[in-house]
Amino acid sequence: MWNPDIYLRFADERGRPFHDLVARIAADDPREVVDLGCGPGNLTETLAARWPGARVRGLDSSAEMIEKAKTQGGSVATQGGSVATQGGSVAYEVADVRDYVPGPDVDVITTNAVLQWVPGHEQLLTAWAAALRSGAWLALQVPGNQDAPAHLALRELCGSPRWADRLGELDDQVRRVPDATGYARLLRDAGCDVDAWETEYLHQLPVGGPEHPVLTWLSGTALRPVRALLDDAGWDEFRAGLQPALERAYPPYAGIVDFPFRRVFATARKR
Ligand SMILES: C[S@@+](CC[C@H](N)C(=O)[O-])C[C@H]1O[C@@H](n2cnc3c(N)ncnc32)[C@H](O)[C@@H]1O
């Protein structure tokens, strides 16, 4: 289960890659814009503001996220289930991206920080690109930090004797995403002109209490599968066990924890 409020604790840091991605989409007057895995909708709304003439849709498999999107500040629910925003209108739906097929009016697809959760998403990208009309855009961003110290520490703890029987299988679920070259080749093969790149952001997280800020960060995303498998006491114990490794890997400097975070981007325009 996704918790929108925990996820949004770092809304600024999590939002920046979306804005960097969308800045590279050169669509002028799209008819339909779809945000796949839209989460709490705070970023989807910016698509409606950028393209006020477009029909903007946000799809997400989490009912909690869609509920949050529909009640975001500044949005007003309308009768048809769509949500009016300042710049236009966004229609939110609970849906799995694996079932998504672009309709004939779709001119822009965005999917930000989602596909790392979807095994075999490369085939989905190929299918979406095949269904798009000439000139339409497909833009994606995925975290590429599976080998960062935070994730190594997480995997090591899951595989330790204390947790292996309950959490050992999570190690196999680490999603290896392609790098920029991998996405560029895949999308060129699917008939697109591609711009692909990688960025390492430096998130500067203030130390604000007993919990290490990287632990707080992970709780909103990478630790979700752990949370799903543990009861409350186990969850507290697991987090307490992870904290020392994070303190060693990311020591604070003058009250700030510097947290490098690599992300992989691609925008593709159908030829
Ligand atoms: C890290 S959040 C990103 C949310 C938003 N795109 C953003 O950038 O803030 C990942 C989102 O992907 C959604 N998600 C994961 N797998 C999905 C799937 N198979 N179909 C639809 N949504 C999915 C989750 O429910 C979650 O809201």
Q: What is the pTM of this model?
A: 0.92
Q: Residue ranges per domain, the chain?
A: 1-144+179-201+259-271, 145-173+208-251
Task: Indicate whether residue 62 lines ligand 1 (CB < 6 A).
Answer: yes
Instruction: Compute the distance from residue 13 Cα to the ligand 1 centre, in Å.
Output: 16
- Provide the CATH topology of domain 145-173+208-251: DNA polymerase; domain 1 (1.10.150)
Q: What is the pLDDT along the chain (271 residues), one digit of tens a residue?
A: 788 888 788 889 999 999 999 999 999 999 999 999 999 999 999 999 999 999 999 999 999 999 999 987 445 455 566 666 544 579 999 999 999 999 999 999 999 999 999 999 999 999 999 999 999 999 999 999 989 999 999 999 999 999 999 998 886 555 679 999 999 999 999 999 999 999 999 999 999 889 999 999 999 889 999 999 999 999 999 999 999 999 999 999 999 999 999 999 999 999 9
Per the CB < 8 A criterion, the answer to whether 258 and 148 are in contact is: no
Q: Whose CA is nearest to atom 20 of ligand 1?
A: 96
Task: Indicate whether residue 38 lines ligand 1 (CB < 6 A).
Answer: yes
Instruction: Compute the distance from residue 33 Cα to the ligand 1 centre, in Å.
Output: 17
> What pLDDT, on the 0 to 100 scale, is given for residue 1?
76
Query: What pairs with residue 141 in β-bridges?
Result: 112, 265
Task: Indicate whether residue 3 lines ligand 1 (CB < 6 A).
Answer: no
> What pLDDT, on the 0 to 100 scale, is given for residue 233?
98
> What homologous superfamily does CATH list for 1-144+179-201+259-271?
Vaccinia Virus protein VP39 (3.40.50.150)
Instruction: Compute the distance from residue 93 Cα to the ligand 1 centre, in Å.
Output: 12
> What pLDDT, on the 0 to 100 scale, is given for residue 73?
47
Instruction: Compute the distance from residue 252 Cα to the ligand 1 centre, in Å.
Output: 30
> What pLDDT, on the 0 to 100 scale, is given for residue 8?
84
CA distance 37 to 180: 20
Out of 60, 68, 123, 201, mutate this one to test ligand 1's pocket (max ligand atoms within 8 Å of CB): namely 60
Task: Indicate whether residue 197 lines ligand 1 (CB < 6 A).
Answer: no
Instruction: Compute the distance from residue 43 Cα to the ligand 1 centre, in Å.
Output: 12
